[in-house]
Amino acid sequence: MQARISKSAALAALLALSAPMLAQAHDEALDLPTATTALSPLPKSASLDVSAVKPAKPAKAIDEDAFREKDVWGRIRSGYAIPDVNNDLVAKHVNWYATRPDYIARTTARASLYLFHVVSELEKRGMPTELALLPFIESAFNPQALSSANAAGIWQFVPGTGRDFNLKQDAFKDERRGILASTDAALTYLQRLYDMFGDWQLALAAYNWGEGSVQKAIKRNQAAGKPTDFESLAEQMPAETRNYVPKLQAVKNIVANPQQYGLNLPLIDNTPYFTAVDKTSDIDLTVAAHLAELSVDEFKALNPQFKRPVITGDEDTKILLPKENAEKYHINLAQWSKELSTWTTHKITSARESIRTLASRFHTSPEVIRQANNIPQNSVLKAGSTILVPKISTSANIDIPAQVEDNASVAYEAERSGKSAKGYKLAGKGKPEKGGVSLVKARVPRDAVKSKSHRKHND
């Protein structure tokens, strides 16, 4: 019998099963420092009894037929629309997944938080529902996944392509990781590629390899009088792209009939897992989690785009919460009497401003400042850097201005030696990646040779 992931247990299952992978997540997934003392207990209320919370009715925007299925896997199966591939590579990848039930369990536990939303968005656009399985290939549904090409999030956008599709990347957030924004961008991108090639398999190849590379391969086959379908072009592709569609086909096959391969998929309820709430002002990530009665890790699983201990942004900034926790958040927020945010920004104007002197000035420790800003040990800040510091009385109740958020960057160099360490500077608003392609950056190097081994499965 299939196991059911309930809404009250899904996050706990995700965290338990994801522990090995989360430990290797990108270093921007901070151990969040706090500038204040421990948060006080929230008031108890009978209205917050989880057992009394009834799931909200499904949104009417989606075809009612979608909700006749009891779980999301059924909706995905019923919407398969991409022609099947049947070759040795598909068999190879089916065998890989079928012999790794623990991997399937970890990935589907993570997917249980996001799949309802992804499938709903695909159905709204009239797109094949097996595209909801693409993050299985890209990231194993881990929003903290980061590739060697600096592709991030469940849809694995590289920085330049993320900017092409309006995914904000600044010192405070990286929307390539955010579930709502990245899903919208990925589906827009995939639809654009399908419109370009008129073929979903070629669109998928372009998503991985870049549309320019696929166009060139098509022209070479046309000049040689050869077919231009995916399998006919495969010999020109790098190994990662050549395996890309077969991997998706392998997952499609398993989802279509898991018992055939000796696997069980958790039954994911065909109702929304999360809902979006508005952020009315700057709020510490730890405070937001506290008000929602979630652990920080549970909160970050739904809000992975926030990179710093404080959530900033304009009125369009949303926080995702499990549906049963959203009501708790609103009730607790209305009763909250303390500051929502304990952080502000400070711009380094002189090399004389050391982290130690800043810590003394803002009544904190050097380690808190380093953790909040991802500053390595044995390094010093360069003039011009904008960093987070704890609020003092003169800056209380003032949100971080939008222009500061958009343009903030951090640069540092090795201590004593004077030689620049390999630091980072986060892109400002709309700043293009040097040497980037006008529309899309490929996920695999454009000069990759055919013999290059295919990318390892994300675990």
138 labelled catalytic: yes
Evaluate whether residue 450 is within a structural domain.
no
Residues 163, 189 within the same domain = yes
Residues 250, 285 within the same domain = no
| Rounded Cα–Cα distance for residues 48 and 327 (Å) | 8
Given 121, 130, 138, 298, the catalytic residue: 138
CATH number of domain containing 142: 1.10.530.10
| Rounded Cα–Cα distance for residues 394 and 339 (Å) | 14
Decide which of 379, 395, 414 is a domain's last residue. 414
Residues 166, 109 within the same domain = yes
Residues 380, 255 within the same domain = no
Residues 94, 148 within the same domain = yes
SS3 percent helix, strand, coil of the chain, rounded to 5, is 45, 10, 45
Please state the domain count of the chain.
3
Domain, as residue range, for 367: 343-414
pLDDT tens track, the chain, 459 positions: 444 555 545 555 555 444 444 434 433 434 455 554 456 556 443 333 333 333 333 333 445 555 567 899 999 999 999 999 999 999 999 999 999 999 999 999 999 999 999 999 999 999 999 999 999 999 999 999 999 999 999 999 999 999 999 999 999 999 999 999 999 999 999 999 999 999 999 999 999 999 999 999 999 999 999 999 999 999 999 999 999 999 999 999 999 999 999 999 999 999 999 999 999 899 999 999 999 999 999 999 999 999 999 999 888 899 999 999 999 999 999 999 999 999 999 999 987 889 999 999 999 999 999 999 999 998 899 999 999 999 987 656 789 998 898 899 888 888 765 444 444 343 333 333 333 333 344 455 434 433 443 444 445
Evaluate whether residue 434 is within a structural domain.
no
Residues 116, 101 within the same domain = yes
Helix and strand counts by DSSP (H, E) for the chain: 18, 10
pTM, two decimal places: 0.79
CATH number of domain containing 357: 3.10.350.10
Whole-angstrom CA distances from 300 to 13, 117, 278, 286, 419 are 15, 17, 16, 10, 35
Evaluate whether residue 351 is within a structural domain.
yes
Decide which of 315, 335, 355 is a domain's last residue. 335
Evaluate whether residue 288 is within a structural domain.
yes
Evaluate whether residue 147 is within a structural domain.
yes
Burial of 441 (0-12, 13-18, 19+ CB in 10 A): buried
Residues 317, 369 within the same domain = no
Outline where 33-100 has alpha helix (H). Answer: 72-78, 88-98
Q: Which residues pair with 275 in a beta bridge?
A: 321
Decide which of 268, 285, 306 is a domain's last residue. 268
